[in-house]
């Protein structure tokens, strides 16, 4: 069983098609929608966690790509601007998934992008606006 968090971009020409419902119906995958922004006749975006056997996952991803969906790994979209980060630690308590960790020796804050679900809370909570989400 594997699990991946991915970002799906739906170009305008396919945003009204039932692509995700077919993915869930025809492929043996568990899914969890973490964020969705689908507006009829405009570009759409969905952050999805997909779980299943590697073979089914690969088939599902191929189906999405063949349908015209553009896929990114989630970690490619949430970034920390290292020049701006002051290691103040505010994000450690804000983040619901524990994607920030304090190193008690150096007092520096690490950002573990694999834990991020792109909820966006740290964007507003970071005083120097060091966190960026690029979709």
Chain residues in the site for ligand SF4 (CB under 6 A): 78, 80, 85-91, 94-95, 97, 99-100, 109, 116-122, 126, 128, 130-131
By C-beta, is 64 or 116 nearer to ligand SF4?
Answer: 116
> Of 82, 26, 11, 90, which Cα lies nearest the Cα of 56?
26
Residue closer to ligand SF4, measured from CB, 45 or 126: 126
Q: What is d(CA 46, CA 6) in angstroms, rounded to the nearest whole number?
A: 8
Minimum distance from residue 124 beta carbon to ligand SF4 (Å): 9
Q: How far is the CB of 13 from ligand SF4 (least distance, A)?
A: 29
In DSSP terms, 47 is beta-bridged to: 7, 35
Toward ligand SF4, which CB reaches closer, 45 or 118? 118
Distance (Å, rounded) from C-alpha 84 to C-alpha 74? 22
Kindly state the smallest distance separating residue 75's Cβ from ligand SF4, in Å.
10
Cα 122 to the center of its chain, rounded Å: 14
Closest to ligand SF4 by CB, 49 or 56: 49
């Amino acid at each position: 069983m594997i699990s991946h968090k991915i970002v799906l971009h739906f170009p305008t020409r396919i945003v009204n098609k039932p692509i995700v419902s077919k993915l869930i119906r025809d492929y043996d995958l568990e899914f969890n929608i973490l964020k969705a922004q689908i507006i009829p006749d405009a570009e759409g975006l969905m952050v999805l966690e997909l779980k299943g056997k590697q073979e089914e996952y690969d088939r599902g991803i191929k189906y999405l790509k063949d349908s015209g969906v553009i896929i990114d790994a989630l970690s490619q979209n949430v970034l920390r601007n290292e020049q701006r980060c002051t290691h103040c630690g505010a994000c450690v308590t804000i983040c619901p998934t524990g994607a920030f960790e304090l190193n008690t020796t150096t007092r520096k804050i690490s950002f573990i992008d694999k834990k991020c679900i792109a909820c966006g809370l740290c964007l507003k909570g970071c005083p120097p606006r060091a966190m960026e989400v690029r979709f």
